[in-house]
A and B are shown apart, each in its own frame.
Chain A
Amino acid sequence: NAGVTQTPKFQVLKTGQSMTLQCAQDMNHEYMSWYRQDPGMGLRLIHYSVGAGITDQGEVPNGYNVSRSTTEDFPLRLLSAAPSQTSVYFCASQRTAGPTSNQPQHFGDGTRLSIL
């Protein structure tokens, strides 16, 4: 079972460059999300999706775009990288979405991104 797979594991960019962080899950989960993790700030939600074709903004969406054309894939795009986007990015999936859902989120192993 692969679970949630994130690529690449590490990336260094220059300010102004763009790139796409890939996330794929093989559990047929409806709900997928992207977080960034910074020291002392826990995990902050960037964007999320409750199903194919549906995305919404999280807590810190500026500078990032997402799309969800299939159930399996949820790529995160950095439009013009800035040093403030240096962080560890985690993708997570959850079986279903819903107002009373108590399901666990399954996380990938993260992408460590440095912007110079």
Chain B
Amino acid sequence: TQLLEQSPQFLSIQEGENLTVYCNSSSVFSSLQWYRQEPGEGPVLLVTVVTGGEVKKLKRLTFQFGDARKDSSLHITAAQPGDTGLYLCAGRKTSGSRLTFGEGTQLTVNP
């Protein structure tokens, strides 16, 4: 059983559409990170959220941390083919530095 569950696992959309990816858990996390991974490469950090209810924006990407710090979402506005990749959420529990990763959401944006 994954501590962090992401949905959907796969998402294929057309350029210009909006989408939301979810990362859910029954556990509380002190912080949550979102990474993006392209084929043949390691994950690269997009954002870290640390406060319940926090919203961060990175150009067309909006990240939100749930009020109870158990879940997070990533919303992409007007998706572009360059957004294609594997999106991973990862959380740190209230003690320790170990990151726990979700299963990932494979996003494909078709031109």
Contact = CB atoms under 8 A, between A and B. Distances in A.
Interface in A1-54: 4, 31, 33, 35, 40-45, 48, 50
Interface residues of A, number: 28
B48 A45 contact: no
Interface SS majority for chain B: loop
Nearest to B102: A42
A102 B31 contact: yes
Contact of A45 (B4, B42, B43, B98): B98
A31 B97 contact: yes
Contact of B97 (A90, A99, A108, A109): A99
B88 A43 contact: yes
Interface string B75-111: 0000000000000101010111111111110000000
